[in-house]
DNA sequence: CCATGTTTTGCACACGTTAACAATATATAT
DNA sequence: ATATATATTGTTAACGTGTGCAAAACATGG
């Protein structure tokens, strides 16, 4: 039914091997015949049968983009930016397959026969099991968003600790001392990093660390809302809150509004992530832009490099994050 | 390197044919041998080579989830909900491949050899070229979000026209007469449908249609913002604005705030989509929930049905949408 | 025991492609 | 012209799986 290289061979009066070589631009074939063959292929609308090709070359043209989960904990904006970034680099010839690690019961189906390479947007330490599994099966992998000590792995991430510290320092520079933090989802590495940055800033500025000001969240709106409620019911209310992501910052903002407080006049808020929505909030949100899309793009470039050229040196690449100053922070006397 | 059915055959003392049949649960094979073989396969951690399998059965286990574009016009929340819905149904055995139609220069690479089936989240009439291409190549397809007249196609969508009408009626019920609309991106079918619903509601209630109250947008925040600015600079300002999606509603809200107006006291706003964020806005946004995730789920079920059982009857399935009443609309005297 | 029918297994080829090696054509040097 | 090197093409097998058909094993009835 479908046109194969043998059909082309017949029409061109050559062997199918020659056709195969011609279409793959082998230097063995004379330019003249090459062109003739390519022309016929074009005319016949020939599309190579990937299954056959992959069977013998032992490749798929699949690149897996894995998230720790596609459910709670992965915000739409974060997800979307990652996919966009990766997809913008993946060429036609690769398929981008999106999966949550938690979609699998076991990892039997994650094999080099299924994926040429894997990009993991890693959000939790629990992913390590998956990572080691992938490495053991010799599938090229690039890990985004988390640092893996193993030195054969390529990791691409922002230094959340430094970025958080920067954000909190900005609050301190504006005269704030009673600074609270709403933490991210427990177990996520990013949660810990951002907390560290917060602590670093306070400690370097010799500000007393008040444990009441450290409240757990889960990275979603609602948890930001309830966390803020908790903070506002304290005997001593903080003058500024650093939220471990923008979604929670929005939740926190609304809790403040609900209590009749004004942002930033009564309480300042800083977020983390720079969701596409954050600039349109009221007040617009001061936050940290991690350039997730860039990270995705970089990861995609790396994995293709890894697949096609087998450059296997592990490395940790830090991408720049940037504090975006808007209007949710006020000067504190 | 990898274990094949021949390896299993050797260990079981049978031919590879028997192994193949046993693992595929052929009724030809005695249960006893079947079990023995399966056990060995298990032990050896056998994973079938998809390329080989697909080559002979002429299948892939790929399901393509296509969007009109992965860039501007597809909001993070919408994208995320769709993927989540589809992914929750796709079983381990299928790969979910995500693509933007505009990623392709031509459709040569979209063949039945690449995709067992395609789910298209269609946002624009321009997709029709793609759709006909897919049909011509006899690839099973399910279209989400848009109605295609061709009667061999399965479409799943909400009736945006009715839902919009309902939303605008709600404004009218609350005493509003000067109701504006911010349109979606030009060329998108949804844009038109929602406009129709808006017009339906006005006409049925014999409210004069003011062309100044109909303003173009592009479905993103910014366009909502500028559209609202335009509306607020009119000699006669509307008392309520129906926004064709939530993102624009948020932009519009902020434009109102910027002008010193209060929502809903000075102006009422209704959105469309029920973004995950909308309930946390201040004021929380009255909007239409289209249950995108359900649509994705339904689409996934359909395409699998289509692939595995070849039920080829076209149909148009409408899913329920629901007006979610929150706090962005006030009673108008 | 044989003849016949039924259940279970194996042989051999096919799927469309690549690649090692052999074979041929062409160019170059003597 | 001949020998040798080089460029170009063809022959053949292989990748791992499924399947039509032939073969073998087993069961049944006489």
- Please say whether the beta carbons of B290 and B77 come within 8 A: no
Transcribe B118-151 into DSSP letters. EEEE--STTHHHHHHHHHHTT--EEEESS----T
Check CB contact of B228 with chain A, cutoff 8 Å: no
Q: Do A280 and B254 touch (CB under 8 A)?
A: yes
pLDDT of residue A312: 67
Q: Do A52 and B50 touch (CB under 8 A)?
A: no
Per-residue pLDDT tens for B31-90? 888 899 999 999 999 999 999 999 999 888 999 999 999 987 788 889 999 999 999 998
User: b/e map of B261-291 (b: 16 or more CB within 10 Å)?
Assistant: bebbeebbbbbbbbbbbbbbbbbbbbbbbbb
Mean pLDDT (chain A) is 92
Q: Is the CB of B30 under 7 A from strand D?
A: no
Q: Provide mean pLDDT across the span B269-278.
A: 90
Region of B76 on the Ramachandran plot (φ > 0 left; ψ -120 to 50 alpha; else beta): alpha
List the structure tokens of B82: 């769709």
Res. B179: pLDDT tops 90: yes
| Chain A residues lying within 8 Å of B98, measured CB to CB | 83, 87, 96-98
Q: Do A279 and B221 touch (CB under 8 A)?
A: yes
In chain B, the residue whose alpha carbon lies closest to the alpha carbon of A111 is B47
Res. B316: pLDDT tops 70: yes
Q: How far apart are CA A101 and CA A86, in angstroms?
A: 18
Mean pLDDT (chain B) is 92
Res. A73: pLDDT tops 90: no
pLDDT of residue B18: 94
Q: Do B45 and A108 touch (CB under 8 A)?
A: yes
Domains in chain A and their CATH numbers? Answer: 5-48 (1.10.260.40), 62-158+292-320 (3.40.50.2300), 160-290 (3.40.50.2300)
* B307 CA from C12 C1′ (Å): 31
Place of tokens 């709403």: A182
Which residue out of A228, A258, A282, A328 would a mutagenesis test of the B interface target, given it has the greatest number of B Cβ atoms within 10 Å? A282
Q: Do A282 and B254 touch (CB under 8 A)?
A: yes
* A48 CA from D15 C1′ (Å): 16
List the structure tokens of A112: 């080099």
Res. B322: pLDDT tops 90: yes
pLDDT of residue B188: 85
CA-derived radius of gyration, chain A: 26
Check CB contact of B247 with chain A, cutoff 8 Å: yes
Check CB contact of B76 with chain A, cutoff 8 Å: yes
| Chain B residues lying within 8 Å of A279, measured CB to CB | 221
B:37-56 Cβ neighbours of strand D under 7 Å: 46, 48-49, 52-53, 55-56
Q: How many CB atoms lie within 10 A of CB B299?
A: 28
Q: Provide mean pLDDT across the span B171-179.
A: 97
Q: How far apart are CA A302 and CA A140, in angstroms?
A: 10
B261 phi and psi angles, rounded to 5 deg: -90, 155
Place of tokens 């697949």: A307
Q: Provide mean pLDDT across the span B90-114.
A: 87
Q: Give me the percent of chain A exceeding a pLDDT of 90.
A: 69
Per-residue pLDDT tens for A223-254? 999 999 999 999 999 999 999 999 999 999 98
Q: Do A79 and B77 touch (CB under 8 A)?
A: no
Res. A165: pLDDT tops 70: yes
Q: How many CB atoms lie within 10 A of CB A138?
A: 10
pLDDT of residue B312: 67
Q: How far apart are CA A138 and CA A124, in angstroms?
A: 22
∠ Cα B243 B246 B247 (to 5°): 105
- State the nearest Cα–Cα gap between A174 and chain B, in angstroms: 24
Strands B268-270 and B141-144: unpaired
Q: Is the CB of B20 under 7 A from strand D?
A: yes
CA-derived radius of gyration, chain B: 26
A145 burial class (0-12, 13-18, 19+ CB within 10 angstroms)?
buried
Res. B124: pLDDT tops 90: no
Q: Do A277 and B47 touch (CB under 8 A)?
A: no
The set of strand D positions with any atom below 7 Å of a protein CB reads 7-12, 14-20
| Chain B residues lying within 8 Å of A253, measured CB to CB | 282
Give CA separation, A299 vs A144, A154, A178, A192, B231, in Å: 7, 9, 39, 23, 43
Res. B280: pLDDT tops 70: yes
List the structure tokens of A321: 């994050």
Which residue out of A280, A285, A297, A328 would a mutagenesis test of the B interface target, given it has the greatest number of B Cβ atoms within 10 Å? A280
In chain A, the residue whose alpha carbon lies closest to the alpha carbon of B262 is A282
Strands B268-270 and A117-121: unpaired
- Please say whether the beta carbons of B180 and B157 come within 8 A: no
Three-state SS for chain A is CCCCHHHHHHHHCCCHHHHHHHHCCCCCCCHHHHHHHHHHHHHHCCCCCHHHHHHHHCCCCEEEEEECCCCCCCCHHHHHHHHHHHHHHCCCCCEEEEEEHHHCCCCCCCCCCCCCEEEEECCEHHHHHHHHHHHHCCCCEEEECCCCCCCCCEEEEECHHHHHHHHHHHHHHCCCCCEEEECCCCCEHHHHHHHHHHHHHHHHCCCCCCHHHEECCCCCHHHHHHHHHHHHCCCCCCCEEEECCHHHHHHHHHHHHHCCCCCCCCCEEECCECCCCHHHCCCCCEEEECCHHHHHHHHHHHHHHHHHHCCCCCEEEEECCEEECCCCCCCCC
Res. B123: pLDDT tops 90: no
* A312 CA from D8 C1′ (Å): 36
Q: Do A276 and B76 touch (CB under 8 A)?
A: yes
Res. B7: pLDDT tops 70: yes
Check CB contact of A261 with chain B, cutoff 8 Å: no
∠ Cα A254 A320 A227 (to 5°): 20
* B9 CA from D15 C1′ (Å): 17
- Please say whether the beta carbons of A269 and A241 come within 8 A: yes
Q: Provide mean pLDDT across the span B123-145.
A: 91
Task: Give the best-scoring range by mean pLDDT among A89-93, B70-74, B92-96.
Answer: B92-96
Res. A192: pLDDT tops 70: yes
Q: In what order do the strands lie in the sheet with A214-215?
A: A214-215, A179-182, A240-243, A268-270
The set of strand C positions with any atom below 7 Å of a protein CB reads 7-12, 14-20
Per-residue pLDDT tens for A274-326? 987 788 788 889 999 999 999 999 999 999 999 988 766 789 999 999 999 99
Q: How far apart are CA B12 and CA B31, in angstroms?
A: 14
Res. B1: pLDDT tops 70: no
Check CB contact of A105 with chain B, cutoff 8 Å: yes
- Please say whether the beta carbons of A63 and A95 come within 8 A: yes
Collapsed DSSP state (helix, strand, coil) of residue B260: coil
In chain B, the residue whose alpha carbon lies closest to the alpha carbon of A281 is B254
């Amino acid at each position: 039914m479908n046109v194969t290289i043998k059909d082309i061979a017949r029409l061109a009066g050559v062997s199918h091997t020659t056709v195969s070589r011609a279409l793959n631009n082998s230097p063995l074939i004379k330019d003249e015949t090459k062109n003739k063959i390519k022309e016929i292929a074009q005319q016949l609308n020939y599309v190579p049968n990937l299954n056959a090709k992959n069977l013998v070359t032992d490749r798929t043209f699949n690149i897996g983009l894995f998230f720790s989960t596609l459910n709670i904990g992965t915000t739409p904006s974060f997800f979307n930016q990652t996919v966009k970034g990766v997809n913008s680099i993946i060429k036609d010839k690769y398929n981008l397959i999106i999966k949550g690690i938690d979609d699998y019961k076991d990892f039997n189906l994650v094999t080099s026969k299924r994926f040429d390479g894997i990009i993991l947007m890693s959000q939790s330490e629990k992913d390590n099991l998956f990572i080691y599994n992938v490495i053991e099966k010799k599938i090229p992998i690039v890990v985004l968003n988390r640092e893996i000590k193993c030195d054969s792995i390529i990791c691409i991430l922002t230094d959340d600790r430094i970025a958080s510290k920067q954000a909190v320092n900005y609050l301190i520079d504006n005269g704030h001392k009673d600074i609270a933090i709403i933490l991210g989802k427990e177990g996520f590495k990013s949660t810990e990093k951002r907390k560290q940055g917060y602590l670093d800033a306070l400690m370097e500025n010799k500000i007393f660390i008040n444990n009441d000001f450290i409240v757990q969240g889960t990275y979603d709106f609602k948890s930001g809302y309830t966390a803020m409620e908790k903070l506002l019911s304290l005997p001593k209310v903080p003058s500024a809150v650093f939220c471990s992501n923008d979604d929670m910052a929005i939740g926190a903002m609304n809790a403040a509004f609900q209590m009749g407080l004004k942002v930033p006049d009564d309480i300042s808020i800083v977020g983390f992530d720079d969701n596409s929505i954050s600039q349109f909030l009221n007040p617009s949100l001061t936050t940290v832009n991690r350039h997730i899309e860039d990270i995705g793009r970089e990861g995609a470039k790396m994995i293709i490099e890894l697949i096609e050229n087998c450059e296997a040196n592990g490395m940790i690449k830090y991408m720049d994050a940037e504090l975006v100053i808007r209007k949710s922070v006020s000067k504190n006397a």
